[in-house]
Amino acid sequence: MLEHGGRLHEAARRHGIPPGDWLDLSTGINPRGWPVPELPPEVWRRLPEEDDGLEHAARNYYGCTSLLPVAGSQAAIQALPLLRPACRVGIISPGYAEHAQAWRRAGHEVVPLAPDDIPCTLDELDALVIIHPNNPTGHAFDPARLLDWHARLAARGGWLVVDEAFIDATSAMSLARHAPLAGLVVLRSLGKFFGLAGTRVGFVLAEPSLLEALRERLGPWSIAHPSRHVARLAMEDETWQATTRTRLAQDSTRLARLLAAHGLAPHGGCALFQWICTPEAARIHEALARRGILTRLFGSPASLRFGLPATAAEWGRLAQALAEVMA
């Protein structure tokens, strides 16, 4: 298994600080997520059914008619490489490591690519996996450029896979409304923007034949019934979505400014996190952890990812800790 953010229990043990005392900025999950109401008891008892309104809500939310709910985009990340014979796949790097691991494990040749290397390499690839905006670098592409790459790949039976886990707050960049197109696979998730990572609900937007193959492979009832129920309600709540888009834009800017004020000007970011390359990354990560603030440390390149604080007290705590650590 790969390492991930959000390993709070582990950090709590290592630093001797109880889990409840941490400010966890390690994940990029909206800390003020969609507020889950009380649920009807039957969602725990009954098996989920496919015609429960979730797909309808998702079609409206994404502006796409051809989609499949999955148990988090992780489920799709693992299954997609099994739907192609061994091929050569370019994967944006650095980026969320589960993609490369899944394609390698399925026997494909993985070519890690920096964004600038993609255009000159594209003609040698059968598939290209983009994380958009990228995690952890925050790198974003012009959607027209992605569509051009898709057209070149699809013309020879290739795939463009776009993992849009962090795109909801800036959805004008999304390729969702262009789906379904042959050879285009868009991955979405309710984890980050909706702050519902615990529910394990994501979607694959793609042509029906690919979705059917995926559906067979994933089998029935892979998403919990309470999760389907909550996901439907959250996707229907357009008022909360609009308010949250505005607030995340403000908070993200505020985080970038706070970090810059302490000598940690971000090298990239998006609405849900900021990313800082610094040879001091490990020292800063450790010093913040000793103060009960968990960030995500990356080794190559040496860098840190900061998620958003939720409350005035949390913003104050982060500012105070940065002042001490960066003094």
Q: What does the binding site for its own copies look like in residue numbers (CB under 8 A)?
A: 1-2, 4, 6-10, 24, 27, 29, 31, 33, 35-36, 38, 41-49, 51-52, 71-72, 74-75, 78, 98, 191, 195-200, 215-216, 219-227, 230
CB of 62 to its own copies, least distance (A): 21
CB atoms within 10 A of CB 12: 18
CB of 141 to its own copies, least distance (A): 27
Nearer of residues 143 and 198 to its own copies, judged by Cβ: 198
Task: Give ∠ CA 178-233-60 in degrees, rounded to 5.
Answer: 20
**Cα gap 279→200, rounded to integer Å:** 35
Nearer of residues 1 and 144 to its own copies, judged by Cβ: 1
Nearer of residues 9 and 279 to its own copies, judged by Cβ: 9
CB of 44 to its own copies, least distance (A): 5
Nearer of residues 1 and 172 to its own copies, judged by Cβ: 1
Nearer of residues 195 and 268 to its own copies, judged by Cβ: 195
Nearer of residues 236 and 280 to its own copies, judged by Cβ: 236
CB of 301 to its own copies, least distance (A): 24
DSSP helix/strand/coil, 290 = helix
Nearer of residues 78 and 93 to its own copies, judged by Cβ: 78
**Cα gap 4→20, rounded to integer Å:** 19
| Owner of token pair 């958003």 | 308
CB of 137 to its own copies, least distance (A): 21
**Cα gap 81→180, rounded to integer Å:** 19
DSSP helix/strand/coil, 46 = coil
φ and ψ at 105, to 5 degrees?
-60, -30
Query: Please, how many CA atoms are within 13 Å of residue 119, restricted to the half-sphere of its CB?
Result: 4
CB of 93 to its own copies, least distance (A): 20
Task: Give ∠ CA 61-63-69 in degrees, rounded to 5.
Answer: 60
**Cα gap 262→316, rounded to integer Å:** 14
CB of 172 to its own copies, least distance (A): 26
CB 92 within 8 A of CB 84: no
